[in-house]
Chains A and B, each alone.
Chain A
């Protein structure tokens, strides 16, 4: 059998002789397969290229032990994509050349398109519009589902809602506490340095209270939840799309907005304000610890003057933001999850866009809140 490895991997070689009548004869020896050729392709190709134009050469391939398509292709290209005129070879190698028969046409050059940047920009714009209309449609569908549930309260998916509250709320307590505490400590420490200059130590409570309860608590919690639960929602829906689970639900007559999306939105709208409350509390504790260490403000004093320094409207505003942020994060994450196509790259891109978009949306909406409620709770 020709394909025995007992002969070992022998190096592919060219053996050139000039004959009496001026013609040359090239004998090929060794193994002309991919393993043997691997590191010598460039070298052999350039050696062979020197003979490519000469049709009087006799090619003797009988000395080749093993040949595969890669070896045959190297020779074929050297011969200008045709069979050499004078060629002898072993019969078992004949079929390696049979598949090569038609010379493949070179791929056509695509002419440069000067309008391309404009087209790309237009496509991007249309993409954004498409996203907006899809989100709007999803929102409409969810509202219809909510109306349906109000009319038929027995079909409210309680289990899904409670599972999602647990996953997005209870399981996020650790990370939000850690981040909240550290931000409280840092904020309090840096403010204390400035306040000491003016001897306005007691105002640390106002600064911490207003900034954490009104602004930092809701936004920090929203960013963390967007990264944690938003990406999870997108990935989950995306994988369900890839594995056709969404289609299976539709076939069974279970609308996935009702069973998957609405529960997630309701659950996040419930758990977000709770997480905001929790983050506020921990951040204030962090700030209190730091204020005690830096400015010597006692814990009892801090806690008793907090209600005077921070009007309670700020708390309601912060919690209200939490509800809206939670709803928006779920909406954006579900929207991107439903658009994922059945391939791995789309899953990664979709998850990234979901997180980036939901954080951006949260910050934009936060700015709108700041303008709308500028007269409430401060001043």
Chain B
């Protein structure tokens, strides 16, 4: 179904005289996992913040679910915030609240659910991301980075969003945990019919999750396409990114898996 969840048209972002994005058009389709890739300082995270309405475009428009993020109906925009969830890079859990209260907060903000139902839903969300019930009363400062990410994911999923934003989901996790986190995101994407927009520069994450990849480079959107299409692009940054030692290794694994699949 070629329905666009997010549509960006002619986006310019400037901080003072510094141009971050120059005339960018991008759309995210329902059900896909779109990865934003680019060198450091290429405006990937700023792009994500634009999609969330945390930054204001200098020029151009960002629409999510057909609603403009900066013009028009305030009520429509408020409802929008119940339809998406965001996983911040460092988790951004409220340090003054327990794990349970962190996940319960968005549900309590609706002010229509009773406390019993919230309790059951929070426990369900924690279970879904693989956090045991005994951790629910702990404070975020007592937890490891991997657990904080999982709990932040549970909080992002608290209001049953259709759209999930991930900022560097596997940064700061050891390879084993980042592998299991990728699997978790994959499962949730399949089970909950999520659309995912992700910023990452971890190649393994990129290769194993992305439906499509968007490459930001020199203030512009260089290419949007499937992994195969992007890898074939001759742009020097992309060649460097994917055809470096690490990139080739990650791609070889994918190729090997594909070969095995085609044989069986």
Q: Is A138 an interface residue (CB 8 A)?
A: no
Contact yes or no, A41 B127, CB < 8 A:
no
Q: A34-B82, A35-B82 known; A41 and B192 CB under 8 Å?
A: no
Contact yes or no, A73 B124, CB < 8 A:
yes
Of A150-158, A167-175, A342-350, which stretch is located at the interface? Answer: A342-350
> In the assembly, what is the distance between CA of A39 and CA of B112, in Å?
6
The chain A residue with its CB closest to the CB of B190 is A95
Contact yes or no, B160 A41, CB < 8 A:
no
The chain A residue with its CB closest to the CB of B97 is A345
Neighbouring B residues of A99 by C-beta, 8 Å: 124, 127-128
The chain B residue with its CB closest to the CB of A35 is B82
In the complex, chain B residues 125-179 whose Cβ is within 8 Å of any chain A Cβ = 125, 127-128, 133, 139-141, 159-160, 162
Q: A41-B114, A77-B117 known; A4 and B1 CB under 8 Å?
A: yes
Q: Is B105 an interface residue (CB 8 A)?
A: no
Neighbouring A residues of B191 by C-beta, 8 Å: 95
Contact yes or no, B160 A73, CB < 8 A:
no
Give chain B nearest CB distance to A63 CB in angstroms.
Answer: 19
Q: Is A100 an interface residue (CB 8 A)?
A: yes
Q: How large is the interface on A (under 10, 10 to 19, 20 to 34, 35 or more residues)?
A: 20 to 34
> In the assembly, what is the distance between CA of A244 and CA of B99, in Å?
23
> In the assembly, what is the distance between CA of A145 and CA of B94, in Å?
38
Q: Is B261 an interface residue (CB 8 A)?
A: no
Neighbouring A residues of B116 by C-beta, 8 Å: 77
Give chain B nearest CB distance to A98 CB in angstroms.
Answer: 9
Contact yes or no, A69 B140, CB < 8 A:
no
> In the assembly, what is the distance between CA of A42 and CA of B193, in Å?
27
Q: Is A341 an interface residue (CB 8 A)?
A: yes
Residue-wise, chain A 10-41 has the 8 Å CB interface mask toward B (1 for contact) of 00000000000000000000000111001101
> In the assembly, what is the distance between CA of A345 and CA of B93, in Å?
13
Neighbouring A residues of B22 by C-beta, 8 Å: none
Contact yes or no, A42 B83, CB < 8 A:
no
Q: Is A74 an interface residue (CB 8 A)?
A: yes
Residue-wise, chain B 43-70 has the 8 Å CB interface mask toward A (1 for contact) of 0000000000000000000000100000
Query: When the two chains form the complex, which single residue of B120, B159, B160 contacts A77, counting CB atoms closer than 8 Å?
Result: B120
Query: When the two chains form the complex, which single residue of A4, A34, A45 contacts B159, counting CB atoms closer than 8 Å?
Result: A34
Residue-wise, chain A 90-132 has the 8 Å CB interface mask toward B (1 for contact) of 0000010001100010000000000000000000000000000
Contact yes or no, A342 B192, CB < 8 A:
no
> In the assembly, what is the distance between CA of A1 and CA of B29, in Å?
13
Q: A1-B193, A3-B162, A100-B124 known; A343 and B117 CB under 8 Å?
A: no
Neighbouring A residues of B94 by C-beta, 8 Å: 344
Give chain B nearest CB distance to A91 CB in angstroms.
Answer: 13
> In the assembly, what is the distance between CA of A70 and CA of B117, in Å?
9
> In the assembly, what is the distance between CA of A188 and CA of B106, in Å?
57
Neighbouring A residues of B160 by C-beta, 8 Å: 33-35, 68-70
The chain A residue with its CB closest to the CB of B157 is A69
Query: When the two chains form the complex, which single residue of B31, B65, B112, B124 contacts A69, counting CB atoms closer than 8 Å?
Result: B124
Contact yes or no, B139 A343, CB < 8 A:
yes
Contact yes or no, B124 A342, CB < 8 A:
no
The chain B residue with its CB closest to the CB of A342 is B141
Query: When the two chains form the complex, which single residue of A1, A77, A95, A344 contacts B1, counting CB atoms closer than 8 Å?
Result: A1
Neighbouring A residues of B3 by C-beta, 8 Å: 4
Given A5-B65, A33-B160, A95-B191, 8 further pairs, Cβ under 8 A? A1-B1, A4-B1, A42-B114, A99-B124, A99-B128, A100-B124, A342-B141, A343-B96
Interchain Cβ contacts under 8 Å between A and B, 22 examples = A1-B1, A1-B31, A3-B193, A4-B1, A5-B65, A34-B160, A35-B79, A41-B112, A42-B112, A70-B113, A70-B117, A77-B120, A99-B127, A104-B120, A104-B133, A342-B95, A343-B96, A343-B139, A343-B140, A344-B94, A345-B95, A345-B96
What 3 pairs across the A-B complex have the smallest Cβ distances? A343-B95, A345-B96, A68-B160
